[in-house]
Structure 1
């Protein structure tokens, strides 16, 4: 079954004829294929991403750059072949103008070439592997998230600042997990007592918890997104290891906290944004998002919101002329929009240059669990691969 759904104004993309006239550039709508993992243990991440996009479009009056937006929602099911098949259909049959979203780096790797070689803009709101930050950069690829190493490097700096000497590293065995370990080690100068890689679908961490208990490190660093994070945090707390500091990225966040609850209290994460940011745009976003969806938005939602804002600014800059690829690219490079993060710009490789923060899990007055800003760790951080990008400026 082709799990695709349609959100937007006007006629459904699924009802459109397969052949689109050459005058497509003057279309009455911007067509977006929004790709996210919306089924399985990691679905909470994709739901945050999808709802953040919808919130951004809603704040823009249902339009991007003055044109109505039609969003074709694609569930990649965390299967590369599924992501590839459905995105190709969106490109060939539905003639989408942008492909947006993508939670996991292996899903991005599956669709990257078909989208960019089609000269369609690919804007990721989460996945940011090193693969496309350096020599693999593309004029048709942008991200409103980060390069995968950066949040993990932030936590490496935190471990360094806290004076930890011995740290246990635990990550999933795929590109983002490898980037996480490398990012952490890039700033942590102490001893990594063990570096363990587990399958992306692992939910039983008994062996890893036993290793941690035996090694007694000063702290644990882990990147375990979605269901992996829920399982690990619960088992870590149940094993009585909470006295060993838990440093993480995308393991305790607003996508996983509804399931982790008290088990995650006091655990740390690194982020580019938290729902307690004080700027007016962020406060409006959180208030309206919770009114519409009844849960606390996290980084996934915020990054997708910013993706809508970035595309809106670009379509506006070219006067709705979607065939003006050079103009769209130049406008997205300018990033002329108000980010929920505040300080944000796009580097030469189309990855953000931004600040990174240490955050901690708290329970809000309304009883919901969320991350709260502790302090800024890195300012205007440029990812380590940007210098390898040979993309010419427009």
Structure 2
């Protein structure tokens, strides 16, 4: 009789389309990004890229239902800390991801570390967290800040520019990237200018740049800062006269606003929308179909961070409560990335290739990034040697 009842219960469960076993657990992810102000386009692309990966997998990663809790840090470190505290104390998340700007990342690093929380970053990669303040639970699926500047430093050296004029906001990532550029550039620095974060008018800086008349200009001005600078650079008659090398300044987040104004600008990073590997091509096609725009690297990074989490949950059978097992699975980076093969260094930052791009029109006549060189191969950041767990 008991056996017959068991069979009847199983048959009833199947007829209702439900499992007779326990309900599938959810994984809660707290996603922090800058979604307002001059950096909003970057944060929105990060959210869109992550959501695309989720939607393609039916709202699951590693077979587990994902609850994605999103917060806007407003590009303010204190707001970022409040959001993380909400994730930890109220929402009881299993994982924190995202983070657009490095000043916010530096502010939230300690509360995340103190809570023993696993973190998967998809943009900000400040130098201190790659070195002495590294954490075994932090994994950065994009790049260490210096990398984008280092590749352009090597590119400028390869182009034999005699002197370069540097302009960047005065905050963690800006200072990191100046160090990165000068680490690989072998010429002379004719100017090193630090602006306010979020600055919109660059008239004074451009007047000083004109007077210096360098062989090339390097800038790191993400989001709306970059849009305004590039437009003003052209208004001052400098476009096409002095080569402009830009990190996180011309990409899918800013080119829709810049259009042909940015043609000829050089960029450097780890991924471009013209990459030919199958994962990248499928991602670009899906992103363009859903959002009707070319994805930026911010979207690609967040999409990749979702793939990384998916791969780790697959390895652990969907379990995240065993932190060490889950972190070991993240560190393996055992998945097909939009950038191609890479691996994590001891500090949780990727060892990966970096490329140079030129803003040009694609086959459809749209303004985009065209890959023109690969100055750095299997590149590791300069700080990993200082990482001691």
TM (norm. structure 2) is 0.92
Where do 5+ consecutive residues of structure 2 fail to align? 1-22
Specify the SS of the correspondent of 2:86. helix
Which residue pairs with 2:140 in the alignment? 143
Task: Give the Cα–Cα distance (whole angstroms) in 1 for the partners of residues 341 and 358 of structure 2.
Answer: 21
Which residue pairs with 2:226 in the alignment? 229
Alignment partner of 1:280 is 2:288: no
Q: 2:387 aligns with which of 374, 386, 389?
A: 389
Which residue pairs with 1:357 in the alignment? 355
Q: 1:121 to 1:27 in 2, by over 3 A?
A: farther
Question: How far does residue 291 in structure 1 lie from its aligned partner after superposition?
Answer: 0.6
Task: Give the Cα–Cα distance (whole angstroms) in 2 for the partners of residues 337 and 149 of structure 1.
Answer: 25
Taking the TM superposition and a 5 Å limit, the aligned residue runs for 1:97-246 are 97-242=94-239, 243-246=241-244
Question: How far does residue 296 in structure 1 lie from its aligned partner after superposition?
Answer: 0.6
**8 Å Cα contact 2:362/2:370 also seen in 1:** no
Specify the SS of the correspondent of 1:54. helix
Q: 1:55 aligns with which of 43, 52, 56?
A: 52
Task: Give the Cα–Cα distance (whole angstroms) in 2 for the partners of residues 41 and 152 of structure 1.
Answer: 21
Which residue pairs with 2:7 in the alignment? none
**8 Å Cα contact 1:343/1:355 also seen in 2:** no
**8 Å Cα contact 1:254/1:369 also seen in 2:** no
Q: 2:374 aligns with which of 370, 373, 376?
A: 376
Specify the SS of the correspondent of 1:136. coil
Alignment partner of 1:92 is 2:96: no
Which aligned runs of 4 or more in structure 1 are off by greater than 4 angstroms? none
Q: 2:335 aligns with which of 334, 337, 340?
A: 337
Task: Give the Cα–Cα distance (whole angstroms) in 2 for the partners of residues 28 and 309 of structure 1.
Answer: 19
What is the CA deviation profile of residues 245-264 of structure 1, one whole-angstrom value per residue up to 9, with x for unaligned ones? 00110011110111111111
**8 Å Cα contact 2:32/2:83 also seen in 1:** no
Which residue pairs with 1:260 in the alignment? 258
**8 Å Cα contact 2:121/2:141 also seen in 1:** yes
Task: Give the Cα–Cα distance (whole angstroms) in 2 for the partners of residues 286 and 178 of structure 1.
Answer: 32
Q: 1:75 aligns with which of 59, 72, 76?
A: 72
Specify the SS of the correspondent of 1:202. coil
**8 Å Cα contact 1:116/1:122 also seen in 2:** no
Task: Give the Cα–Cα distance (whole angstroms) in 2 for the partners of residues 195 and 252 of structure 1.
Answer: 20
TM (norm. structure 1) is 0.91
Where do 5+ consecutive residues of structure 1 fail to align? 1-25
Which residue pairs with 1:316 in the alignment? 314
Taking the TM superposition and a 5 Å limit, the aligned residue runs for 1:18-29 are 28-29=25-26
Task: Give the Cα–Cα distance (whole angstroms) in 1 for the partners of residues 189 and 105 of structure 2.
Answer: 29
What is the CA deviation profile of residues 93-126 of structure 1, one whole-angstrom value per residue up to 9, with x for unaligned ones? 1111111111100111111111122111111100
Specify the SS of the correspondent of 1:285. helix
**8 Å Cα contact 1:205/1:235 also seen in 2:** yes
What is the CA deviation profile of residues 311-332 of structure 1, one whole-angstrom value per residue up to 9, with x for unaligned ones? 1111121112221001011111
